[in-house]
Amino acid sequence: MKFEDSVSDSGLVVLDISGKIMGGEETTLFHGKLHEYIQLNKKQFVIDLKKVEWMNSVGLGMLISALTTVKKAGGRLVLANITNIESILAMTRLITVFEHFDSREDALKSF
C-alpha cells in the first residue's frame, strides 16, 4: 500500500491510496498522517480508493479506525471510488457504515 496526501483548495484533506492494503508499516504511517491533520484542525477527509487493487481484513480495520478517529475529533470522513473493494464492503455490511461516492469530485462536493 502507498498513499499520498494533499489539501484541496477548500481545506479538505484528500488521501489517495494505491496498491494492496494488507497492514504493516504503511498502515501505521497512514494513521500517523491522519492524526497530524487532526492536530492541525483539519478534520474533513476524502479517502480515494480508485487505485486500490485489493484489501484484506486489516485494511478494513484501518478504514474503520480512521472513521472512528475522525468522528471522535468531530470531523467527517468519506470514501471515493470504492469500485475495486465494493464487494468486500458489501459482504461485511460496512458499505452502510461509510459514506461513499462514485468519484472524488462528488465526494468533495458533498462537503
For the chain, what are the domain ranges?
A: 2-109
| 65 has a pLDDT exceeding 90 | yes
Distances in Å between the Cα of 32 and the Cα atoms of 5, 22, 63, 70 are 12, 17, 13, 12
2-109 CATH choice from 3.30.750.24, 1.10.8.60, 3.40.50.720, 3.30.420.40:
3.30.750.24
Q: In the predicted model, what is the mean pLDDT of residues 75-92?
A: 94
Query: Can you give the pLDDT at residue 23?
Result: 81
For residues 49 and 84, is the Cβ–Cβ distance under 8 A?
Answer: yes
| 107 has a pLDDT exceeding 90 | yes
One-letter amino acid for residue 87 of the chain = S
The 10 Å Cβ neighbour count of residue 93 is: 8
Query: Can you give the pLDDT at residue 29?
Result: 93
Q: What is the pTM of this model?
A: 0.92
Q: In the predicted model, what is the mean pLDDT of residues 21-31?
A: 89
Alpha carbon distance 72, 94 (integer Å): 18
Query: Can you give the pLDDT at residue 73?
Result: 97
